[in-house]
Amino acid sequence: MKIIAALASSFVLLVSSFAAEKQPNIVFLLVDDLGYADCGFNGGKEIHTPSIDKLAAAGTVLDSLYVQPVCSPTRATLMTGRYATHTGVYTIVRPHASWGLPLTERTMANALHDAGYATAITGKWHLGEFEPAYLPTARGFDHHYGHYFGMLDYFTHMRGVDLDWYRDGKQIKEEGYTTHLIAHEACRIISEKDKAKPLFLYVPFNGVHSPFQAPDEYLKPYGELKGNRQKLAGMLAAVDEAIGQIVAALESTGQRDNTLIIFSTDNGGPPPGDNTPLRGFKGSIYEGGVRGCAFANWPGHIPAGKRIKEPMHTVDWYPTLVKLAGGSLEQKTALDGKDVWPMLTQGAASPHDAILCVQSPTVAALRMGDWKLVINGGTTDSEGSPKAKGKKGKAKADESGETLALYNLVTDIGEKENLADKEPERTAAMRARLAEFLKDAVVPGHVDNEANALMPPKKKNLP
């Protein structure tokens, strides 16, 4: 009996070990304000991104990954698998603002931590810091290193009069270029990780967000570029180098083959970023504001040298990664995201019949198949893209006073020709579908300062 018991115990350990090996490390690389066509793999010619391009070539490029128009909302959708209409995070969380990602939301880090993962973030959080309960280490991350907001000085780490640099909730003073420091910390985490646990490493770089700053050695190869475009090129070159170092750390520790790497921008690039051939920039619900530059790479699991045109949204990473990790998706809050693993690995169609992009409950866009409906997007994007201008692209107001525009993204990826008048039935059907998405949209959350607790966002019924 003792022999049988010992064999049974050994079998359980073997199965557990096998299961642990099957849980991949997950490294999520988020580049701030990156233009759709700034990297070589997506058509860029001016900036050298060899490390990024090598990863993209050995993985699958996501031609139609949708993000939010600005950064905090994209980070909220990534962390929760829920649209802004359900979290209330429509806009940027400003320094010292008395709100953040609602505490009722379960995060991806929570879910992966529950699944047995070590969890770490090195870089920008941007989802609230006014109380300890909103910090990364209270939202499922074992460790945080980096900053809470954007637009900090890359060398001094100051944001205005405030030092914005932290390790596990404690403000620290360090010397160094932020991109270098973030990469160094990511490599340290990879090298020192507990071999008994899989790792979820979230690396949200502050590059290439303004202010435009780079060490001189990164600017020299781009002498033909001028002004902020040259500085952005140097900043992206530094991010590319950092990503190469992270991959090298995975390789040198024997973890590369069991690591899924995801690369994405958080929103469309603002000028001087290049969003060719898309219309608009950051802050817009046109494609230049909400279509991300992205790919996924996992040797032997995700096809190499492939591009997927099927649409997906950042909300999809939550259920896809938690399910892949063997975690539970049972939770109090309903998910908007869907599992896209069959789409990434087997050539399946998008699991969505429609994808929502919102700037607010009244400024929104809907992607259905090849078509996109834009409500209250304006006649041009907010950044004044020259590609957006012209009579054909002008949105028309309907009887409700809303402006409507309909585009076929297959034949008109630049969203120049408004087809709403030529496709009245399609426009009506998509408007009705969009109304379904927006009927339970919440207004931005607020804080009851006396209770020191986030109040639930109020619902706003929309037509």
What is the three-state SS of the chain? CHHHHHHHHHHHHHHHHHHHHHCCEEEEEEECCCCCCCCHHHCCCCCCCHHHHHHHHCCEEEEEEECCCCHHHHHHHHHHCCCHHHHCCCCCCCCCCCCCCCCCCCCHHHHHHHCCCEEEEEEECCCCCCCHHHCHHHCCCCEEEEECCCCCCCCCCEECCEECCEECCEECCCCCCHHHHHHHHHHHHHHHCCCCCCEEEEEECCCCCCCCCCCHHHHHHHCCCCHHHHHHHHHHHHHHHHHHHHHHHHHHCCCHHHEEEEEEECCCCCCCCCCCCCCCCCCCCCHHHHEEEEEEECCCCCCCCEEECCCEEHHHHHHHHHHHCCCCCCCCCCCCCCCCHHHHHHCCCCCCCCEEEEEECCEEEEEECCEEEEECCCCCCCCCCHHHCCHHHCCEECCCCCEEEEEECCCCCCCCCCCCCCCHHHHHHHHHHHHHHHCCCECCCEEECCCCEEECCCECCCC
Give the per-residue pLDDT at 363.
Answer: 95
| 399 burial level (CB within 10 Å; 0-12, 13-18, 19+) | exposed
Give the per-residue pLDDT at 98.
Answer: 93
- The class (CATH top level) of 23-346 is alpha beta
Q: Which of 39, 86, 113, 126 is catalytic?
A: 126
Give the per-residue pLDDT at 396.
Answer: 57
Residues 142, 148, 150, 152: is their CA dihedral positive or negative?
negative
Phi, psi (deg, nearest 5) at residue 306: -120, 150
Query: What are 352-366's pLDDT values in tens digits?
Result: 999 999 999 999 999
| Measured CA distances, 55 to 50, 52, 68, 95, 175 (Å) | 9, 5, 24, 35, 30
Give the per-residue pLDDT at 459.
Answer: 40
**Cα–Cα distance measured from residue 463 to residue 443, given in angstroms and rounded to the nearest whole number:** 15
Q: How many CB atoms lie within 10 A of CB 430?
A: 24
Residues 182 and 159 sit within 8 Å (Cβ to Cβ): no
Give the per-residue pLDDT at 233.
Answer: 98
Query: What are 253-300's pLDDT values in tens digits?
Result: 999 999 999 999 999 999 999 999 999 999 999 999 999 999 999 999
Q: Which of 39, 71, 187, 357 is catalytic?
A: 71
Catalytic (active site) residue 301: no
**Cα–Cα distance measured from residue 74 to residue 31, given in angstroms and rounded to the nearest whole number:** 12
| Measured CA distances, 195 to 13, 29, 118 (Å) | 15, 22, 10
For 355-438, CATH gives 3.30.1120.10
What separation, in Å, do the N-terminal and C-terminal C-alpha atoms of the chain show? 70
| 157 burial level (CB within 10 Å; 0-12, 13-18, 19+) | buried
* 182-207 burial code (b ≥16 CB/10 A, e <16): bbbbbbebbeebeeebbbbbbbbbbb
pTM: 0.89
Q: How many CB atoms lie within 10 A of CB 6?
A: 10
| Residue type at 136 in one-letter notation | P
Sequence ranges of the chain with CATH classification 3.30.1120.10: 355-438
Sequence ranges of the chain with CATH classification 3.40.720.10: 23-346
Give the per-residue pLDDT at 416.
Answer: 97
Catalytic (active site) residue 96: no
Q: Which residues of the chain have pLDDT under 70?
A: 1-21, 378-402, 445-463
**Cα–Cα distance measured from residue 71 to residue 68, given in angstroms and rounded to the nearest whole number:** 7
Q: Are strands 371-375 and 363-368 parallel, antiparallel or unpaired?
A: antiparallel
Give the per-residue pLDDT at 445.
Answer: 57
Here the contacts of 302-307 (C-beta below 8 Å, separation 24 or greater) are: 302/59, 302/60, 302/260, 302/344, 302/345, 303/59, 303/60, 303/345, 304/57, 304/58, 304/59, 304/60, 305/57, 305/58, 306/59, 306/60, 306/61, 307/60, 307/61, 307/63
Give the per-residue pLDDT at 395.
Answer: 57
- Nearest Cα residue to 385 out of 279, 290, 292: 279
